[in-house]
Structure 1
Amino acid sequence: MTRLHTYATVVTWTGDQGSGTSGYRDYARAHELSADGPAEVILGSSDPAFRGDPARWNPEQLLVGALSQCHMLSYLHRCAVSGVVVTAYVDHAAGTMAETAEGGHFTEVVLRPEVTVAAPEMAERAAALHEEAHKACFIASSVNFPVRHEPTVHVGPAR
C-alpha cells in the first residue's frame, strides 16, 4: 500500500523596490518561505553570485540542509532501533553546483556527519548505519545527483 504525503509551502516575494522587475538590477531577490505549522518564517534570497542577499538563505543552501536533515533523522532512527546510543551529532555538509550556459545543476552533495556514541562496542555499527540511513532518506532518494556521506564516529562524551 502506498501512502501519499503532501508538503505545502508559501513563498512570498518581498523584493519590489518600487518598479517591480522592470530591469534585472531593479529588484531584490528577497522572499519569505513559510508553511502551516512552523511559527518562524525563513528569510530567503538568491545566492550572492546571482545578486542575492548573503544574510538570507538561498535555495541551494536549503537543498543541502534538507539532505543533511533527512540523513540525520533517518540515521538517528536506525541507531535507536539498533541499540546504538548517539550522544552528539553534527554534519558539515557541502553541495557543489555547476553553472552552465543552459542553467545550473547540482553535481553532488557530501554529508560529513560527526557522531559520538556512548560506548566503544557501538562504533562499528554506528558507522555502518550511515549506509542504511542513506538508502532510507526520502530526500536523497528524490534527487538526480549523488549524495555521498563521509562519517566520523567518536566514542565518549559529546564533543
Structure 2
Amino acid sequence: MSEHVATIAWTRGDQPFADKHYSRAHDWTFDGGAVVRGSSAPSSVRVPFSDPAAVDPEEAMVASLSSCHMLWFLDFAARAGLVVDRYEDQASGTLGRNEAGRSYMSAVTLRPTTTFSGRQPDQAELDHLHHEAHQSCDMANSVRATITVLATLD
C-alpha cells in the first residue's frame, strides 16, 4: 500500500479566539511541495472568518473524486485504443444529513465531457469506460456518498 501525506497548518496570530472571531484560512502543503490555501466554506462560516477564494474541504472532496475518476478513465480509454484530446468535469457535491442528523457528503455528481481524436466511442462504450473508472477509483471506493456519472461526448 502507498502512503499519501498532507500537512495542514493554521496559526491564530493576534486574532481573538474564544469569541470564534478568527480566520479559518489555513494552508495545505502536499508531499510534492504544492501549497493550497484552505478555509471553511462561506456557507458554513461567514466571511471574513472564511476565505471564499480558498478551497474548502467539501470542494476538495468533490475535486478528489473527480480527479481520481478522470485518471482512471484516461487509463481505460488509452487501453481501448482511444485518443482523448480533452476531458472536463463540472462536478458537484451535495451535503445531506445522516441517521444521527450529522451533515455529510451524501451525493456527488460527475459531469465529464470528453473530446476524442480518431475513433469515436459510442455512448455505450463511453458509459462502460466510465463504469470501469468508477469501479477502480480509490477515492470512490473510500466514501459512502452516492456518485453519479453523467458522461457526454464533446
Fold shared by both chains (TM-score > 0.5):
yes
Counterpart CA distance in 2 for 1:57 and 1:41 is 11
Q: 73, 76, 88: which one pairs with 1:75?
A: 73
Deviations 1:17-62 (A, max 9, x none): 52452122x2110100002213x31000000022221111100000
| Aligned counterparts, 1:1-159, within 5 A | 4-14=1-11, 16-24=12-20, 26-38=21-33, 40-51=34-45, 52-98=50-96, 102-119=101-118, 121-124=120-123, 125-154=125-154
Give SS of 1:130's match. Answer: helix
Q: Is the 8 A contact 2:4 2:31 kept in 1?
A: no
TM, length-normalised to structure 2? 0.88
The structure-2 alpha-carbon separation of the partners of 1:65 and 1:78, relative to structure 1 and needing over 3 Å to count, comes to same
Counterpart CA distance in 1 for 2:89 and 2:134 is 14
Q: May I ask how many residue pairs the two structures share in their alignment?
A: 148
Q: Which consecutive residues of structure 2, in runs of 5 or more, have no partner in the other structure? A: none
Percent of aligned positions with the same letter in both sequences? 34
The structure-2 alpha-carbon separation of the partners of 1:72 and 1:43, relative to structure 1 and needing over 3 Å to count, comes to same
In structure 2, what residue type is equivalent to 1:46? Answer: S
Q: Give, in angstroms, the shift of residue 8 of structure 1.
A: 1.3
Q: Which consecutive residues of structure 1, in runs of 5 or more, have no partner in the other structure? A: 155-159
The structure-2 alpha-carbon separation of the partners of 1:17 and 1:102, relative to structure 1 and needing over 3 Å to count, comes to farther
Q: Give, in angstroms, the shift of residue 89 of structure 1.
A: 0.6
The structure-2 alpha-carbon separation of the partners of 1:83 and 1:120, relative to structure 1 and needing over 3 Å to count, comes to closer
TM, length-normalised to structure 1? 0.85
Give SS of 2:126's match. Answer: helix
Q: Give, in angstroms, the shift of residue 83 of structure 1.
A: 0.5
